[in-house]
Amino acid sequence: MDDISLSSLLGALAALLLASGFSSMAETAMMAVNRYRLRHRSKQGSRGAKLALSLLAETDRLLGVILLVNTLVNAAAATLTAVITKRLFGEGEWALALGTAAISFALLVFCEITPKVIGASRANLIAPLASFVLAPMLKIVTPIVWFVNLFVQSLLKLVGIGPESESGHSPLTQEELRSMVLEGQSFRGKHRAMLANLFDLDSVSVDDVMTPRSQIEAIDLGAKAASLLDQLANSYHTRLPAFEDELDNIAGIVHIKQVLRLQQAGEIDAEQLRTILRPAYFIPAGTPLLAQLQHFQAAGQRLGLVVDEYGELLGLVTLEDILEEIVGEFTTQSPGLEAMHRESDGSIAVDGMTPLRVLNRKLGTAFPLDGPKTLNGLIVGQLGEIPDAGAKLHFAGQSVEVMQVQDRAVKIVKLLPPVGRSGAPALQTSGEQASSIR
């Protein structure tokens, strides 16, 4: 190399460092790239994405060519540095030590750390571009890579690792997909919340969202005609269950539109209502919401009655109840329902039959959802008895006071401040029109 000028040697060294940096950056980018995004871009016709996917399908060969090039380039750079050091400073020990330190620093900064950080942070952009260089290189050095991989595969078999163990090819689980939605940057605000709620539908059952038996508005076919007419005229629902004598004896479902047709023909009585009853649709308790949504779609139903294993009526669930679990509440509620409102001292008065899921969603409380479904059930379960008015207790990080007990149940509860999270929706103070609850 004595005939080669010093400037040519320095230029060759710079080229080797660039090649080493490219190899490191390409290796990191190819391993960190989002394969799902690559597949999407490939379907859109991106040649770089198609090349990258074909290379990633043979990870052992891809890493083989990258590491082969990187190793050869780094070895050549170290040798060339020794030649340059000898040309500049002679063959002394200090000169060799200085050259070794210099090339080590250059390789670490310019060929390892910096390129790999760039490759990791811009993997989706760099991987398709790097594939145009890596693909021809793989064809050129295939025999060498094949020979090296013979030893690599033998070592992998010794430690029990095979191609089928590569996690990059395994599908994402539901929990992993949920984490991607919640932690990723692709979805924000309402879209992120809706997608996360979709993943939760399998873990939520109809028992969690149904209107409990005690709050079901139903028609007693044994009532007088005047009473029936008054109830139908003041109903805020389009469908009402109808029963004979007791609520467990459901006769069918009344559609208000058909009642209007009967009114045009004359007076309405129980016999006339029986002629327009539609069969009731029953749902087993514990049915997951996602399954029930599919059942509603298959059966063409919008309302179902939840029954236990003995056939006793537990509650009522509608298609709207399930949709609201995904998109949030989107309709006004019946004026007859109790209100949730904030008192002047910062406390919040709520109906004891309010579902815990509604309180957690609206107020940011952390009431447990794996036991009782309502605030009344949680309080009675905690105390082991029906409390008296004025009883105070603290659970799940929230202090509560029982304000009214009626019909062997807690009727009104006051949530003492602080209530839930600071970012919870604002509620109007007592005396103003309060926000409705389900």
Q: Which of 327, 350, 382 is the last residue of a domain?
A: 327
pLDDT at site 182: 67
* Judgement on whether residues 235 and 147 belong to the same structural domain of the protein: no
Return the residue matching tokens 């009104």. 412
* 334: in domain: no
Phi-psi region of 431 (alpha: psi -120 to 50; beta: other; left: phi over 0): left
* Judgement on whether residues 144 and 191 belong to the same structural domain of the protein: no
Q: Which of 118, 143, 169 is the last residue of a domain?
A: 169
Q: Which of 180, 203, 226 is the last residue of a domain?
A: 203
pLDDT in tens, 384-411: 888 989 889 888 888 999 999 988 888 8
pLDDT at site 249: 92
Sign of CA dihedral 9, 12, 18, 23: negative
pLDDT at site 339: 56
Q: What is the full DSSP assignment across 40-57?
A: HHHHTT-HHHHHHHHHHT
* Judgement on whether residues 149 and 16 belong to the same structural domain of the protein: yes
* Judgement on whether residues 237 and 322 belong to the same structural domain of the protein: yes
* Judgement on whether residues 160 and 182 belong to the same structural domain of the protein: no
Residue type, 351: D
Q: Residue 375: give the domain boundaries.
A: 339-436
CATH number, domain at 430? 3.30.465.10
* 69: in domain: yes
pLDDT at site 374: 87
* Judgement on whether residues 188 and 229 belong to the same structural domain of the protein: no
pTM of the model: 0.60
* Judgement on whether residues 234 and 284 belong to the same structural domain of the protein: yes
CATH number, domain at 234? 3.10.580.10
CB atoms under 10 Å from CB of 209, counted, come to: 23
* 374: in domain: yes
* 242: in domain: yes
Q: What tokens does 262 get?
A: 């009967």
* Judgement on whether residues 192 and 280 belong to the same structural domain of the protein: no
pLDDT less than 70: residues of the chain: 1-2, 162-172, 174, 176, 180-189, 265-267, 329-339, 421-438
Give the helix/strand (H/E) hosting 83: helix 59-89
Radius of gyration of the chain (CA): 35
CB–CB of 221/251 below 8 Å?
yes
Q: Which of 298, 262, 258, 248 is nearest to 278 (CA)?
A: 258
Return the residue matching tokens 């079901």. 216
* 332: in domain: no
* Judgement on whether residues 303 and 361 belong to the same structural domain of the protein: no
Spacing of C-alpha 77 from chain mean position: 49
* 77: in domain: yes
pLDDT in tens, 178-207: 776 666 666 666 777 777 777 777 788 898
* Judgement on whether residues 298 and 426 belong to the same structural domain of the protein: no
* Judgement on whether residues 126 and 16 belong to the same structural domain of the protein: yes
The residues near 232 (Cβ < 8 Å, ≥ 6 apart) are: 219, 240, 254, 256, 259, 268
Domain count along the chain:
4
* 425: in domain: yes
Q: What is the 3-state secondary structure (H, E, C) of 283-346?
A: EECCCEHHHHHHHHHHHCCCEEEEECCCCCEEEEEEHHHHHHHHHCCCCCCCCCCCEEEECCCC
* Judgement on whether residues 15 and 104 belong to the same structural domain of the protein: yes
* 1: in domain: no
